[in-house]
Structure 1
Amino acid sequence: MTDVPHTRNFCIIAHVDHGKTTLSDRLLEYTNTVAHRVMTDQHLDSMDLEKERGITIKSHPVTMLYPAKDGISYRLNLMDTPGHVDFSYEVSRSLAACEGAVLLIDAAQGVEAQTVANAHLAFSQNLKVIPVINKIDLPSANLELCLQQLEDILAIPSDEAILASGKAGIGISDILEAVVARVPPPRWTNYPQTRALVFDSLYDSYRGVIAYARVFSGSLKAGDMVELMSNGVRTEVKEVGVFTPKMQKVAELDAGAVGYFVSNIKDPAEIKTGDTVTLSQRRATEMLPGYKEVRPMVFCGLYPVESSDYEKLKAAVGRLRLNDAAFVYQQESSIALGFGFRCGFLGLLHMEIIQERIRREHDVDIISTYPSVVYHVVKHDGVVIEVDNPVNLPDPGTIIEIREPMIKAAIHIPNDAMGDILSLVMEKRGLVDHTDTLDATRVMLSCSLPLNEILVDFNDRLKSVTHGYGSMDYELGEYRAADLVKMEILVNADPVDAFATIVHRDKAEGKGRALCEKLADIIPPQMFKVAIQAAIGGKIIARDNVREMRKDVTSKCYGGDISRKRKLLDKQKEGKKKMKQFGRVSIPSDAFIKVLKTN
């Protein structure tokens, strides 16, 4: 093993699609960590989903050995991080395990919303930031603008920037040399006891829980008895190793090392991300400064399509919770959908990815209910309760006000899209606090918007209005009172809890009408006329009818008097009336899937 002064821990941070994973591919090639014959594009993106979508979902650690120009061989521990705002928690965890960060900026796009957010995350953790302007070989690259933005927006001197191209392999040695020269050696190594930070973990059905850890002081080796400081769980270490990028067993992990350890822990819930691991004989007295507990912002119900798959779904969400601390869940049941889970996510992409992983990795077919956020409901007795499911909203007579979560958004857009974006923000009940001109072609809007309004289509519409050049980063703001109501959908006068939503009173009618029309279209024709209604309290605000199947009872009347046909039709009418009183409409599960998917 290399000694501590010659170890460097750093991560790559950037906006979505600025070339982080491609650059890490070149670093792996340049340091001969991965042989050329087994090298693939986006090598560190191990999930099919990541390769398909071209995004990084999980941060991936890898240890490289680099013989620097000063003749010394350095051990470089690299973490490739996601760029999307929904995965900023992954980024903060990686930053906690590093001393330096390579900040990538796309030469054609310049500094974008998530670039700023990730740079500030790195500054707040006192990391050394190395700016790299990537994709300089593109015909549309504008280096002067990027260097100017680096100084104006991020306050980083432009002479520190390294020009590179991950695709063409330009500037790779300059980046490695800058990491060796500028990133400080591992910190807090002189602490007397062993301390390691758990920054990720995964579940292996043969070996149990495998924890990814960064050792700050002391060492970990097979046979050590260790203790998790947050909950006092003690366990024996079975194996330790590093990532190259596959797991490779080693004798011990010394101070400054990034690797994994396998222990006797079989229950995924026992190891928390952000926990400190220490030796149980010589316990550390204080935990490492982990990172803040994350609060999910978007909630939805997940239910198995086949009720027999409930246990499989339960195992799937338990394992995903292990290596994604930002995902939370609890059991719930619905009259229409049976048993399932109420799940919390950081955002819509996060929700989509988790659902896709459940389908693919755990082979469970699922339905998800309409996404909602956490509301604060103030009741007449002064009690404030949190409601994340519209079904749990108390009786309107007991409520003084409902407060909804707001977000503070920074939206980077081209100048010519200003009018369209302002009308989009107004449509979503948002306010623009102020605008900043970034350069001759781009502006940044600082807005406050209700989180509920941006859940479904805000990002898509932002991209289409700005032709793909707009970007947004947001953080949770305060809770603000609004005129919110619970809208229920009644099928044949029975409320269906899966379609209940909390909406703003001004938008309730439009949303109700759209949902009724969609349901009337999707529910198969019934033997009697079925009304689908949207209601707020006892007031019906929208209605539509499901098509009626009608048997031709007059087909056997050949000629004769009209009164014979009238008699048969009246008899049918009486039968329909009776059927309507006792009949029940069973909504097929694929109708739920279609409605919830199109929403």
Structure 2
Amino acid sequence: MNRKNLTHKAGRDNAEPVGGGGRIRPVNNPREATKTRPAGGKDAKSTGIDRTRNFCIIAHIDHGKSTLADRLLDLTDAVPERERMEQILDSMDIERERGITIKAQAVRLVYRREENGDGGEAEYMLNLIDTPGHVDFSYEVSRAIAACEGALLVVDASQGIQAQTLANLYLAMEQDLEIIPVLNKIDLPVADVEAVTEELVELLGVDESEILKISAKTGQGVPEVLDAVVDRVPAPESAVEQTRGLVFDSHYDAYRGVISLVRLFDGELAKGDRVQAMGSEEEFEVLEVGCYSPKPTALPKLGVGEVGYIIAGLKDIEALRVGDTVTKVEDPAESVLPGYAKVLPTVYSGIYPTVGDDFERLRDALQKLQLNDASLFFEPENSRMGFGFRCGFLGLLHMEIIQERLEREFDLDLIASSPSVKYEVVLQGGETVEVTNPSDLPEVFEEIREPMVRATVICPKEYVGQVMGLCHEKRGVSVGMEYISTKRVQLTYDLPLGEIITDFFDALKSRTRGYASYDYDPKGYVASDLVKVEILVSGDPVDALSFIVHRDKAYYRGRAMVEKLKELIPRQQFEVPVQASIGKRIIARETVRAYRKDVIAKCYGGDITRKKKLLEQQKAGKKRMKQVGNVEIPQEAFLAAIRI
């Protein structure tokens, strides 16, 4: 790809790349310190470094990344015929059920092709990383990009360039990866190959001949993708004799301990080596090295430029973290490889076990899941719902996936509180505090500031009005509008993060019939007229259901919440008032009616005073019951609160 001709179209000419701002990008490029000895130099023959290619597949969600990975696996015979299935790299049940990629998956392919026209074959080792496409999992993409030299940028020929396509492209450009544009789904009747090709030419500044046109579903054009990877993606390079490997992913195995995915930038690792994690300064012995092809396969060693896994039998989850550098104890490296910027959560929620005794199990589960998902943040918290954890996520989908994984993989029954964002509150003395839980908001303060984001929405031109209306409903401020082609428009808005973390994506898809896409970057804090709305059940506040909202929307949100809770809270033997309040002022109320036993059914005829006596006794009994009775709020109520 000709980088000199690269133009930043789609309205981001003056904007910082999506990976900027310390949100989801590596701190530095690990390859910058390794580009002094060319591939094919010393040790190149013995390690095969000149025939190694490390690349990833990046794209917007549902543009065909996993399907293309399947075809590449088929062409290189990585999976036996009897074991082949769709989306083989999407190994989690949640990924298959939802049809999305959640975790980046690394796999090694062996590609043989004829060279020099003499009938001889050359064998290439291709390390492929299939990445997620949803904005909530961009941190996975950034880590995968740091382990590669090239990227396949996949674009759907029926949908064109989408918001996350641009986001992932800028991440790859920031790391100086070789970009190979791939136009997928050209076999669809609705595919507009010419128009999308023009978009890619204009965006990337490449010749049309450099764009690969394929159908990953049918396999058309896919062999040319492998050839392009071999011909265009540069081989790894190394400048340091000492071993240095970057840990870019990990997961916990109950039998084997911590299993870490490593990209070796320098040196080699073999079974039996004494290794040190340079960040935590922990030393351990390597019990096994290997690669995924796509099943775990043990190898004698991992050489320079290769991607694989190491197992050291570690039971301490803190010993080897994502972003750490591993080196040999006997000949340690002088400097660590640049790791990753600490990811900043955007959405916060409390997660509590329904059974109090499961608190420690939940802590262990979160620690093991954090090893597999470095973007997860959690800290202990105590509220009316009991002991739990305040967790930070990169978005609402990320939150749903984490809760579902905790319940499925660790057999936990959990309740999650309403999602919120981090606010800055200026107290009367001038001190500024951060608030992530609405229940922690002080009663008296000078002002409250909410986080803002710059959102980029790409949609067909006929839906511009609907998108603009939605953004204004969410208190958005228009920044710019640009036509990226004759049919599609890019809109840029500054939006409050608290307004878009819940239903913005669903509303956007609904109003544009699924054709719009969006991405956003943090933009700092802005003072706003915000209030805390508390939900009271039988007069007692429920911390998990309280939320912070703009004053103009407080009544409507509070009304919607109490009406939904009236439907979901089961009826008791006494009336249950459900109220929404701002401070001491009640802004909405609904009542869950009591069950009523017909105590006068046995009174047929006779004096009316007998009936009145029975009704008064029933009334007094319900009053006593209301004073001592507890109202159980089902989990469906908390889930409904999230959707509201």
TM-score bracket for the superposition, by shorter chain length: over 0.9
Deviation at 1:553, TM superposition (A): 4.3
Paired position in structure 1 for 2:131: 81
Distance 2:639 2:371 in 1: 31
**Which one-letter code corresponds to 1:85 in the other structure?**
V
Q: Which runs of 4+ in 1 moved over 6 A?
A: none
Match of 2:309 in 1: 260
Question: Partner residue of 1:17?
Answer: 62
Paired residue for 2:140, among 90, 115, 118? 90
- 2:166 and 2:625 mapped to 1: Cα distance? 63
Q: Which moved more, 1:177-186 or 1:61-70?
A: 61-70
Task: Give the 3 Å change call, closer, same or farther, for CA 578–2 of structure 1 in structure 2.
Answer: closer
Amino acid aligned to 1:180: V
Structure with more contact order per residue of length (Cα contacts < 8 Å, sep ≥ 6)? 2
In 2, the alpha carbon distance for the partners of 1:583 and 1:243 equals 59
- Residue number among 249, 256, 267 corresponding to 1:218 in the alignment: 267
Q: How many angstroms does 1:4 deviate by?
A: 1.0
Is contact 1:525–1:547 with CA below 8 Å preserved after alignment? yes
1:291 aligns with 2:336: no
TM-score calculated relative to the size of structure 1: 0.95
Say which of 88, 110, 115 aligns to 2:165: 115
Q: In the alignment, residue 53 of structure 1 is paired with which amino acid?
A: R
Match of 2:199 in 1: 149
Which residue of structure 2 lines up, in the alignment, with residue 31 of structure 1? Answer: 76
CA distance in 2, matches of 1:186, 1:126: 13
1:424 lines up with 2:470 in the alignment: yes
Query: Residue 270 of structure 1 corresponds to which residue in structure 2?
Result: 319
Which residue matches 2:432? 384
Equivalent residue number for residue 204 of structure 1:
253
Distance in 2, Cα, partners of 1:304 & 1:125: 41
Aligned counterpart for 2:423 among listed residues 364, 371, 375: 375
The 8 Å contact of residues 437 and 444 in structure 1, kept in 2 or not, is answered as: yes
CA deviations on 1:419-439 (whole Å, 9 max, x unpaired) are 111111111111221111111
The DSSP-based 3-state class of the residue aligned with 2:478 is strand
Distance 1:571 1:67 in 2: 88
Confirm or deny: 8 A CA contact 1:11 1:79 kept in the other structure: yes
SS for the counterpart of 2:225 is helix
Q: Distance in 2 between matches of 1:334 and 1:80?
A: 40
For 2:530, the equivalent position in structure 1 comes to: 484
Residues in 2 aligned to 1:478 and 1:119: alpha-carbon distance in whole angstroms: 24
> For 2:341 and 2:439, how far apart are their aligned partners in 1?
30
Contact kept? 2:54, 2:148, Cα under 8 Å: yes
Deviation at 1:375, TM superposition (A): 1.0
**In structure 1, how many angstroms separate the alpha carbons of the residues matched to 2:86 and 2:617?**
72
Separation in 1, partners of 2:47, 2:268? 13
Alignment partners' CA distance in 2, 1:277 and 1:387: 37
Q: Displacement of 1:594 after TM fit?
A: 5.7
- How far off is 1:570 after superposition? 4.6
Query: CA 1:79 to 1:595, structure 2 compared with 1: closer, same or farther past 3 Å?
Result: closer
Does structure 1 retain, via aligned residues, the 8 Å contact 2:271–2:286?
Answer: yes
| Structure 2: distance between partners of 1:567 and 1:105 | 77
1:68 aligns with 2:113: yes
1:551-590 per-residue CA deviation (whole Å, 9 max, x = no partner) reads: 444445443444554455455545555555x334322444
Residue among 468, 473, 477 paired with 2:514: 468
Moved more, 553-562 or 78-87: 553-562
- Give a deviation string over 1:125-175, Cα, whole Å, max 9, x none: 001101111111222222211121112234444332111111111222211
Moved more, 170-179 or 76-85: 170-179
Unaligned 5+ runs, structure 1: none
- Give the Cα–Cα distance (whole angstroms) in 2 for the partners of residues 457 and 598 of structure 1: 7
Instruction: Give the 5 Å matches for 1:143-542.
Output: 143-187=193-237, 189-335=238-384, 337-395=385-443, 397=444, 399-542=445-588
Contact 2:575 2:591 survives alignment (8 Å) = yes
Range with bigger deviation, 104-113 or 309-318: 309-318
**Which residue identity does 1:380 align to in structure 2?**
Q
Secondary structure of residue in 2 paired with 1:68: strand
Task: Determine if contact 2:419/2:642 at 8 Å carries over to the other structure.
Answer: no
Tell me whether 202-211 or 131-140 shows the greater mean CA deviation: 131-140
State whether structure 2 residue 50 is matched by structure 1 residue 5: yes
Question: Partners of 2:126 and 2:308 in 1: how far apart?
Answer: 12
Q: Partner of 2:446: helix, strand, or coil?
A: strand
Determine if the alignment matches structure 1 residue 549 to structure 2 residue 549: no
Identity of aligned residues (%): 51
What corresponds to 1:58 in structure 2? 103
Q: Is the 8 A contact 1:406 1:477 kept in 2?
A: yes
In the alignment, the residues of structure 2 paired with residue 462 and residue 595 of structure 1 have an alpha-carbon distance, to the nearest angstrom, of 20
Aligned pairs for 1:542-581 (under 5 A) are 542-570=588-616, 572-573=618-619, 576-577=622-623, 580=626
Letter in 2 for 1:195: R
Q: Is this contact kept in 1: 2:346–2:422, CA < 8 A?
A: yes
3-state SS, counterpart of residue 321 of structure 2? coil
TM-score w.r.t. the length of structure 2 is 0.89
Describe the SS at the equivalent of 1:72.
strand
Residue pair 2:104, 2:130 contacting (<8 A) in 1 also:
yes
Q: Which moves more between the two structures, 173-182 or 524-533?
A: 524-533
In 1, Cα distance between equivalents of 2:480 and 2:224:
39
Gaps in structure 2 of 5+ consecutive residues: 1-45, 116-120
**Matches of 1:236 and 1:246, distance apart in 2:** 23
1:526 offset after TM fit, Å? 3.4
The counterpart of 2:149, out of the listed 99, 107, 115, is 99
- How many Å separate the matches in 2 of 1:590 and 1:471? 31
CA gap 1:108/1:524 in 2 versus in 1, 3 angstroms: closer
CA distance in 2, matches of 1:102, 1:573: 72
Q: Quick check: 2:53–2:236 contact (8 Å CA) kept in 1?
A: yes
In structure 2, C-alpha distance between the alignment counterparts of 1:449 and 1:598, rounded to whole Å:
19
- The answer (yes or no) to whether the contact 1:9–1:97 under 8 Å persists in 2 is yes
Pair 1:569–1:236, CA change in 2 (3 A) = same
Contact 2:453 2:520 in 1 (8 A): yes
CA distance in 2 between counterparts of 1:521 and 1:123 reads 51
Relative to 1, partners in 2 of residues 1:531 and 1:131: Cα closer, same or farther, differing over 3 Å?
same
Deviations 1:328-374 (A, max 9, x none): 11121222x22222111111111111111112222212211111111
- Structure 2 distance, partners of 1:561, 1:161, is 94
Matched, 1:44 2:89: yes
User: For 2:583 and 2:633, how far apart are their aligned partners in 1?
Assistant: 26
Q: Which amino acid aligns with 1:218?
A: G
Structure 2 Cα separation of the partners of residues 434 and 167 of structure 1: 37
Shift of 1:202: 1.0
Q: Contact (CA 8 Å) 1:241, 1:252: kept in 2 or not?
A: yes
* CA displacement 1:60-84 (0-9 Å, x = unmatched): 1111121233242211111111111
Indicate how the Cα distance of structure 1 residues 595 and 53 shifts in structure 2: closer, same or farther if over 3 A, else same. Answer: closer
What SS does the aligned partner of 1:315 have? helix
* 1:107-135 Cα shifts (integer Å, max 9, x gaps): 11111111111111000000110111111
Provide the rounded CA distance (Å) in 1 between the counterparts of 2:226 and 2:624.
Answer: 80
Q: 2:561–2:641: 8 Å Cα contact kept in structure 1?
A: no
Deviations 1:367-388 (Å, cap 9, x if unpaired)? 1111111111111222221111
Instruction: Report the Cα distance in structure 1 between the residues aligned to 2:123 and 2:339, rounded to whole angstroms.
Output: 30
